[in-house]
Amino acid sequence: MPLFAGISEGWKVFKDSMTFIFRKPVFLVPIFFCWIIVAFITLYNRYYFPNLGSFWLLILYIYLQIIILAFVISMSNIVMLELVQQMESGKEASLSEAMKEAFGFDLIRVIPVALIWGILWLIIVILKALTSKARSKSEPSVKDAAMTLTGMNTPFSFIRLGLNMIEKLIRMVVFMALPAIAWENKSGFASFKRSFQIIKKHPAQFLTAYSLTLAAAGVMALPLIPIYILNELEIALPTEVWLGVIIYAGIIWTLEIYLEQMSVGLLYLWQMKWEKQGGKGELSSVERPDLFDKVYELK
C-alpha cells in the first residue's frame, strides 16, 4: 500500500542519514559552529536581556535575534548541502569550496527564507511566553548555563511540547526548501513552493522522517535524565559534570539539525532522480540515491 511504502521510504532516507555521518563527520562542522552562536544568544538573553520598556521594541528585538538564528542555521545547512552537491557531481568534498559557494551565490536567496521562517518562529516564541511562567533571572554559572541549554530549568507542559513539535515541523519544511537553493539555484520564494510540492507528493515519507528525527532526539537526551534527577534531589554535582552537559547539549542539537536536514535533503534528491526518470509510479520505482556510489545525480 502507498502509505506503508511511504513509511518504508522515509525510514530508508533516515537510515542513510544516520550511516552517512559516520563516514563523513566533516558535515557536522558547519552546524556545530552554528550551535555556538545559538548557545551564545540563548545565554545572553538568559542573563542580560534588556528592559526595553516598549512592547513593540521588545518584539522587534526578539525578531531580529530570531532572524539571525534562522539565517545562521540556514547557511550552515546550505554549506552541508553544497558538500553533498560536490559529492553528487563527482568532486572531492571541500569545506572551503562549499563555504565559498554558500556565501556567494546562495546567500541572497537564503535571506527571504530566514525572514519568513523568522516570522513563524516569532509567533511560536510569543505563544510559548504566553503559556509559560516567567523564569526568574539567575546569575551566570556553568550549572545554570547547562540547565538553560538543555531545557532542564524549563517546566514541562503539554502546550509547550505541542508548540515545540510545531516549531520542528516548520523547521523541517524550511529545510526541505534549502536544497532548491543549493542544488537548483531557485529563489527563496520559489524554494518554498518546491518544498510544499515535494511534501504534498510524499507526505508519508516526510512525516516518517519528522517522526524518526524526533525519536532520535529523544533517545539522545536519555543520558541527561540521571543528571536531572540528581539535581532535583539537590545533590551537588562538580563543575566538570555541568561542562560535560553543555558539550553534550551541543552534540545533541548538532545531530538533530543534521538529521533533519539530511533526511529531507536525501528525500529531495530522490525526488529529483524520480523526476529525471519520468516522474511516474511510486518513488520506490526509482533506485534510492547513494552518496557513495559512482552515479552522480547532480552532475
- Find the Cα–Cα–Cα–Cα dihedral 103, 105, 109, 115, rounded to 10°: 10
Confidence of residue 59 (pLDDT cuts 50, 70, 90): very high
Confidence of residue 2 (pLDDT cuts 50, 70, 90): low
Q: What is the pTM of this model?
A: 0.92
Q: Which residues have CB under 8 Å from 135's CB, separation 6+?
A: 153, 154
DSSP string covering 130-154, please?
A: HTSPPPPP----HHHHHHHHHTTTS
Left (φ > 0), alpha (ψ -120 to 50) or beta: where does 278 sit? left
Cα distance from N-terminal residue to C-terminal residue, the chain: 33
Q: Model confidence over 60-93: pLDDT tens digits?
A: 999 999 999 999 999 999 999 999 999 999 888 8
Mean pLDDT of 212-234: 93
Q: Provide the mean pLDDT of the chain.
A: 90
Residue/partner pairs of 89-98 with CB below 8 Å, 24 or more apart = 89/296, 89/298, 89/299, 90/296, 90/299, 93/24, 93/26, 95/26, 95/29, 95/30
